[in-house]
Chains A and B, each alone.
Chain A
């Protein structure tokens, strides 16, 4: 059997475009997911039973669903709700944002709970409101504690973006498959895809480990 890794060089620009889309989707979904997750976590910890229940139901619901099913849901729903096709990217972005928020909110909730109660009490005692206590005292410390875990979840999210393959949105995985099938080079292309994902995710997790070491000190 003859390998031909030249096919990778010939299609590099096309593959790079796919990789750019994977990164863009990861960044936007992580940003949107974290914002939504902070709201969910604050609802959960608010002490209002109704808010806490809504938040818990949201989180448990999304955590019991496979991501692929969520992607299918929004590819079907979004055009129906808007009344016209909006392109796969926005459907995928909404699906990933809502799905990841469920996972991020559990991390953020743990992060908020890791800040000692004395800090909150001190905030109130100095006359800060709830919003100010959260904004200036609790959340900055919580985010500092949970940065490594949030980044790890970001790496997971980056791997998960490969699933947009199921709706043929042209991310890195789909681009790889298109080249693989057109050129009849499945072996080379899938090994290449594995190598690219591995290098990115492994360097990411090494960086997270270094951060953890720094924070632990």
Chain B
């Protein structure tokens, strides 16, 4: 194998700057998408357990649709197709005036996709609570809203911290798909450095190390959350 090692390339400008900005975009895409994923995913997940048949149907359709189409296809649809299908005025606005179009599209696409996965975790969290709790809630005169607010959700969200952690890690990894619509996040930057310098080993190693650091940081942070959220007497389920 012939290869000219040059680790110094990683510390040269502009390549060091590229890597740092890549990490920044990865974090920016993943965390903004997580806000959508967690909010929408909680709503959809709750809707899948409601007594109302229509709410359940819509939520189930959402989850099945988004889980069975590859994320890459979904991103392309958000980026290339949706602006064309919107009413003319909106479409024109999206194409002309949308701030940071690639970033925004990536966040929306990744957020909506991950929401379908979060929804499944929320649903299974709610379903893991014994039916007796719901019955007791209704018997003591709670409305459905109160039942979720005071009985089901406080337990469900604490039970699903471990699987949500792995979804949160997945969103960082999946944010690399944003490069297909032109967001220069970490993976894209490492490839760009490879193309400019032919130092693929160094560039991809740098990206790999950063992803491992992100994973370790998130895992450490979430294990704190997990410890605080643990319910005495419940066996923690692995994610």
Do A and B originate from a single complex?
yes
Q: Would you call A198 an interface residue if the criterion is a C-beta within 8 Å of the partner chain's C-beta atoms?
A: yes
Residues of B within 8 A of A134 (CB): none
The number of inter-chain residue pairs (CB within 8 angstroms) is 106
Apart from A177-B76, A190-B77, A201-B68: 12 A-B pairs, beta carbons within 8 A: A66-B176, A68-B177, A69-B208, A72-B191, A73-B204, A160-B70, A162-B70, A163-B70, A186-B80, A191-B77, A198-B69, A202-B68
Contact A76 B74 (CB under 8 A): no
Docked pose: A65 CA to B175 CA in angstroms: 11
A156-196 to B contact mask, C-beta < 8 Å, 1/0: 00011011011000000100010000000011001101100
Candidate in A67, A72, A159, A165 with the most chain B CB atoms within 10 angstroms: A72
Q: Select which of A68, A73, A80, A194 is within 8 A of B73 by beta carbon.
A: A194
Q: Would you call A205 an interface residue if the criterion is a C-beta within 8 Å of the partner chain's C-beta atoms?
A: yes
Contact A65 B208 (CB under 8 A): yes
Docked pose: A72 CA to B180 CA in angstroms: 13
Contact B84 A165 (CB under 8 A): no
Q: Would you call A126 an interface residue if the criterion is a C-beta within 8 Å of the partner chain's C-beta atoms?
A: no
Q: Would you call A125 an interface residue if the criterion is a C-beta within 8 Å of the partner chain's C-beta atoms?
A: no
* Size of the chain B interface, CB-CB below 8 angstroms: 41
Q: Would you call A83 an interface residue if the criterion is a C-beta within 8 Å of the partner chain's C-beta atoms?
A: yes
Question: Which A residues fall within an 8 A CB radius of B?
Answer: 1, 61, 63-69, 72-73, 76-77, 80-81, 83, 155, 159-160, 162-163, 165-166, 173, 177, 186-187, 190-191, 193-194, 197-198, 201-202, 205
Main SS of the interface on chain A? helix
Residues of B within 8 A of A80 (CB): 1, 3, 200
Docked pose: A191 CA to B74 CA in angstroms: 9
Docked pose: A160 CA to B191 CA in angstroms: 20
Residues of A within 8 A of B216 (CB): 64
B54 to chain A, nearest CB (A): 21
Residues of B within 8 A of A197 (CB): 68-70, 73
Docked pose: A105 CA to B36 CA in angstroms: 31
Residues of A within 8 A of B46 (CB): none
Candidate in A67, A69, A202, A205 with the most chain B CB atoms within 10 angstroms: A69
Residue of B nearest to A165 (CB): B72
B123 to chain A, nearest CB (A): 15
Question: Which residues of B159-211 are within 8 A (CB) of A?
Answer: 169, 172-177, 179-180, 187, 190-191, 194, 200-201, 204, 207-208, 211
Residue of B nearest to A1 (CB): B84
B9 to chain A, nearest CB (A): 15
Docked pose: A114 CA to B58 CA in angstroms: 35
B7 to chain A, nearest CB (A): 16
Residues of A within 8 A of B80 (CB): 186-187, 190
